[in-house]
Each structure stands twice: as C-alpha cells, then as structure tokens.
Amino acid sequence: MSAQRYCVMISRSFLQHYLRTIDIRYRLITSFILLSLIPLFICGGIFYMESTAAIQKAEVVKQITQNIQLEMQKSAAVTNAPALALRDSSHAAQQALIAEVHSLRNKIISIGLICAVFVLLLSYVVCRSISVPLGRLVGTMRATADGNYRVRLRCDGKDEIAVLSQKFNEMAGIVLKHHEELETVVAARTQALKEANLKLEALSLTDVLTGLANRRRLDEVLANELRRAIRSCQYLAIIMLDVDFFKKYNDYYGHPAGDDCLRKVADALQACCQRAGDLVARYGGEEFVLIVADADIAGTMALAETLREAIEALRLPHCGSAFGYVTVSIGVAVQKPAPDHTAGLILGTADRAMYRAKLLGRNRVVAMAEERAAELVSS
C-alpha cells in the first residue's frame, strides 16, 4: 500500500468519525470556517505572484541601473555631477517600486481580511439559520420522549427543516390522538376491573343462596365489633336462630322448596334490621346470626321477638312441624366483653341459648346475659 493511499484512508476514517461524533451545528461552523480560508489562500497566492513579479521588475531595473553606471564610469566625457544625479534617480525609482509592492501587499491583505470577515459572518448567519431550527426540533423531540405530545414546532418557510417540522407536528398529533384513545381504553378497562374486583369481593363476602353476608364476612365484622366493644366498654349482642324441623321440610317439600324457604326467611330477617351497624349473616345450613352492637338485653330481646314474629307471619306451610308452618328458635347472648373474650365465646353462648330454646319447645326466644339465662316464651 502506497503512502498516498494510506493517507487517503486515514483522512477518510477521520472524517467519518468526525461526522458521526460531532454535533451538526459544530460541523457546519467548522465547514464554513474552512471555506473562509479559501479567499485568504487565493489572496495569498495572488499576493505571492504579484510580489514576485514586482521584485523581478525591481531586479531588472537594478541591473539596468548598474549597467548604466558602469558605462558612465568608462566614459571620460561624463562628469561626476550627472553621474550622481543618475544614481539618485535610480534609487528613487527603486524606492517607488518597493513602495508600490508594499501598497499592493497591504491592499491584498486588506481584501483577504475583509473577505474572511464576510465569510465568517455569512457562516454564522447560515449556521444559525440551520442550527436554531434544528435545536428547536431536537428539544421538541426530547419533550415528546418524556411523554409531552402536545408541544408543536413552528413551520416557517418552505425549506427542508420546515417540512420536517410540519411532518413532525402531524406525527405528534397522530401519536397524541392514539395516546388519548389508549388512555381512555385503559381508564375504562381499569374502571371495569375495579368494578369486577368489587363485585368479586362482594361475592366472596356474600352467601350465594340468600344474598346475606356469609360466614367469612360474619367472622370479620364480629372480630371488629368485639374489639370496639372491649375498647369502649359497651355491650355486644348476638342473635342466633335456627329454622325448626328444617330437615323434615327438605325431605317432604324437596331441596328447591327448602332453598326458597331459606331465601324468604333471609328476606324477613333483613327487613327487620333497620340499624346500619347491624349485620345479618347466614351461619350455615338453616342457621342465621345477627350482630347487634351497643345494645342492652331488653332491646336485643325485643328485636329477637320481632324476628320470630316476622318468620311466623310468613305462614310458610310445614307439615313436619307441630305448629303447621315454618318457625324459628332463637338464642340471644348479650355481654360486655372483657379483653380475654373471643368471638367464639360469645357465639357459643348464643348457640347454647338457641339449643335451650329448642329444648323448651321451639318457636321461642331464650337469652343468656352475663352467664345468666333468661327466658321469654311467646304466647
């Protein structure tokens, strides 16, 4: 490989690296500065050629003057005075020629500097006319990269940058439109998912057959109410009821009729609970539980009797019952819980009261408050 080809390869690789790594504004400025040196080189070349020609003329004049002086010295007829005058005139001619050369050089340098300043100003104007719109374009692109698709570029003129800015604005508008549509879809899907989660949560806490709270919801609410009653030293009441002879009802009328009976009983229980803090839940099978917060024994017994009468008033036929219709046995537990009391303890108290009501003949309310049994038999 020759040295010339090697130099060309090195120069090409340098230029490629330079064009890839240097910002376009600096590339433009560097290019125009390099172009501004061309007039200087041209002026320098002209000055060199003109100066060389002037110096050659001066040498010719000097040689002619020397030859004339030699000829004058050889002539005996010539006096010293005219010879001095010739030397003076030749010296004056040389000075004039040198002054002319210097004047020409100064003019060329001035013209070269003026051209260089003009090219530099022109390069600055051109670079600014390109770099400023490019800078705005780059800034807008960076803003859109951060998610701001509403920013727009000015499209002044009809050059390539203006066309590029116009196309970018159109693209940003399309992206903004799709982004807003996507956000709308995502918001709708998020809301739908939220509603589905709420429904799923409600279903997970709701008994499918009766629509009342299920055992899981009962355990959560009872634990919260128990903690609140312990903290505030208030009474907590539990009403537990069981449909009398429900197995015989299923055996005689069938399970679909039994399910319908449970739904009607659940609706009647729910209709009797007017306070927002009270909870009616299906405890399991044909058993139901009511949580009555901040209630005394008298008020809870009155509510339990209202529930019993509401179920009796349904007059649902029951051939397997001695009463001839569906009835319930209700146990009531009213306690002011101590810190060591648990939900199982108060539920157990209500359960014992309910089974006592069954032992006493069913279709009645039996209460246990502070481990003392009180009985109310319906007339």
* 141 vs 100: CA distance, rounded Å: 60
3-state secondary structure of 77: coil
Is residue 238 within 8 Å of residue 292, measured between CB atoms?
A: yes
* 358 vs 196: CA distance, rounded Å: 43
Is residue 27 within 8 Å of residue 19, measured between CB atoms?
A: yes
Which residue type sits at 231? R
Is residue 292 within 8 Å of residue 300, measured between CB atoms?
A: yes
Q: How many CB atoms within 10 Å of residue 30?
A: 14
* 159 vs 171: CA distance, rounded Å: 18
Point out the residues that are catalytic.
Answer: 286
Structure tokens at 151: 């920013």
Which residue type sits at 228? R
User: Which DSSP string do the residues of 204-269 spell out, in sequence order?
Assistant: HTB-TTT-SB-HHHHHHHHHHHHHHHHHHT--EEEEEEEETTHHHHHHHH-HHHHHHHHHHHHHHH
Q: How many CB atoms within 10 Å of residue 187?
A: 10
Place of tokens 């061309």: 38
* 379 vs 364: CA distance, rounded Å: 9
Q: How many CB atoms within 10 Å of residue 261?
A: 21
- Considering only CA atoms, give the Rg of the chain: 56
